[in-house]
Amino acid sequence: MLNTLKIENVALIDKVVLSFDGGLNVISGETGAGKSIILDALSFVFGGRADRSLIRSGCERMRVEAIFNNLSDRLIEYISNELGILADDEMFLSRELDLNGKNICKINGELVPVASVKKVCQKLVDLHGQSEHLAILDNNYQLEIIDLFGNSSKKILEKLTEKIDELKAIENDIKALGGSESEKQNLIDLYSYQINEINDAKLCSGEFEKLNEEKKEMQQYEKINESLKACYEANCKNSFSNTAVDNIYSSIKAMQSIGQVNDHYARILDRLNSLLIELEDINDTVLTDLTNNVFDQERFDFLDNRLDFLKDLYRKYGGSYEATMNYYKNISEKLDNLINSTERYHQLNERKNELLEEIDDIQNQLTKSRIASAKNLISKLQSELRALGMPNARVDVEFSRIPERYSYNGADKVEFMFSSNLGFELKPLNKVVSGGEMSRVVLAYKIVVSVVDEIQTIIFDEIDSGLSGNIASVVAEYMARLSLKKQIIAISHLPQICAMADNNIKVEKFSDDSTTHTKASILKDVPLYEEIARLMGASSKNGLNISQELKEKSNDYKANIQTSYK
């Protein structure tokens, strides 16, 4: 239920904090005092249209906060699983809007889209007067209530879910086998082509790297050739100066004269001899490389083409040799399964067709169950509407089929149909019902479905519009009955409803030297009797006595229905 509402800088309201009880909460006040502003603020925080014109004059932004508690397990699960927001039995909802149109919504401190706020609040609140929040006008909600109101729909839906899950699993198996015969043949053709393409490529592990290295070396042909030539000439073939070999020979000759003196000089001589041998071997190698370093254009073109081919092939099948070969192995297995899957394919399709027939039968059972449930709901609803002063009101539920063959929710679409006047045809509820009629339709509807409906809070915007006399008293009694199971928040001008409230809030407008403000206060005892008397149009002492008597009579009525309810 809605526990606390905090409104800041909305129209005439600079700051108001409202606390609500779990029963019947009635907001009253003079016309123009700001009661409708509270409804605008509620609509805003529940995900309604963001209207910058509502920002209080001279302020940069408006903000509305709502605290709900005693959340249902289903709603807690929805917030946690669908929105990924930590939730318990209390929820903190906030929304603010600035003059630039920046809109910020939060649930339990986490930023969420407006659409998510709407979905959550549709499971929490019926805001009469704002059709976007009025659950009774939502076709999916109507169908959900019909199912909850019936006795057998739940079991049928469970059976339907079981069959659809099995059907989807079989469809996945069929898809893995290639789908239909034509789809299967297409896959066989595709896999065969890809296998042949990979086979014809004659791939080898490490081939791309080796060829790439060879190509890079050929691209450096001139640089390599010049370097080899320079190295060879510096070592042993230079007509302008001594070469490295010449210099080492000279060093060896110089050391030979002292090589017998001691071991130290002998070791130097040995090292010079080793160096000469190594240098001569290097020169032989360089000369061989220089002789063999011939640029082969045909080989270069082959390398270039082969590398481009491998790049394209690897790109198609995973990006590398290993990925391509894994893909080759995978599709080879798939191709083998496809070629040998005819019998399995026919078995799966046979079971699929059986399941579709079973699902059709279950959905037909569900439709029959829903029609029976809807008739029971309509009968009780029309009975309540007659008691609420609508003797000619007729309600019906129109069934139609969804375009898909099946769904987890069955094959039905429903539309609540309504006519309030004798001789007029039934039309969709949201197309024909007036504001005053809708209030009583919702009230009657909520009384009927209160046992199964999980929405906790119902907000009525002037449900008493156009009501008076005995019907006003009947509506007040209905609201009292409904408030035993639901939290009711109502803006009202009727003394009967005001007297029946568990919590009375008065909205007043006042001005200071510079601006106008709206405030809200809780009424009890004498201030409450005065407000009831004002609504009755009797402000005298006698009027206070009458209002006190009305309040006491209302308290007695609530005590009696509470006893019978228990």
Whether the CA torsion 559, 560, 561, 563 is positive or negative: it is positive
- 425 touches 454 (CB < 8 A): no
User: What does the pLDDT read at residue 129?
Assistant: 58
Number of neighbouring beta carbons within 10 Å of residue 494: 26
CA distance 45 to 545: 40
User: What does the pLDDT read at residue 195?
Assistant: 93
Residue 154 tokens, joined: 């739940």
Residue 534 CA, distance from chain mean position: 49
Q: What 8-state DSSP symbol labels residue 56?
A: P
User: What does the pLDDT read at residue 516?
Assistant: 81
Residue 103 tokens, joined: 């809109």
- What are the C-alpha distances in Å from 294 to residues 301, 306, 403, 425, 545? 15, 21, 75, 99, 122
Question: What's this model's pTM, rounded to 2 decimal places?
Answer: 0.63
Tens place of pLDDT for every residue, the chain, 566 residues?
A: 899 999 999 988 888 899 998 899 999 888 877 788 888 899 899 988 888 989 898 899 999 999 999 888 888 888 888 888 888 888 999 999 999 889 999 999 889 999 898 888 888 888 775 454 466 777 888 888 888 887 778 889 999 999 999 999 999 888 777 667 787 788 888 999 999 999 999 999 998 899 888 888 778 777 877 877 777 777 776 655 567 777 888 888 878 878 777 888 888 888 888 888 888 888 888 888 777 777 778 888 888 898 899 999 999 998 889 999 999 999 898 888 777 777 777 888 899 999 999 999 999 999 999 999 999 889 988 888 888 888 888 889 999 999 999 999 999 999 888 888 888 888 887 776 565 677 778 788 888 887 777 788 888 876 666 666 678 888 888 889 888 888 999 888 889 999 999 999 998 888 877 788 788 889 898 889 888 888 888 766 777 888 888 888 988 888 888 776 55
Q: What domains does the chain contain, in order, with CATH numbers?
A: 1-124+456-525 (3.40.50.300), 207-334 (no CATH)
CA distance 360 to 160: 9
Based on the number of CB atoms within 10 Å of its own CB, is 436 exposed (0-12), middle (13-18) or buried (19 or more)?
middle
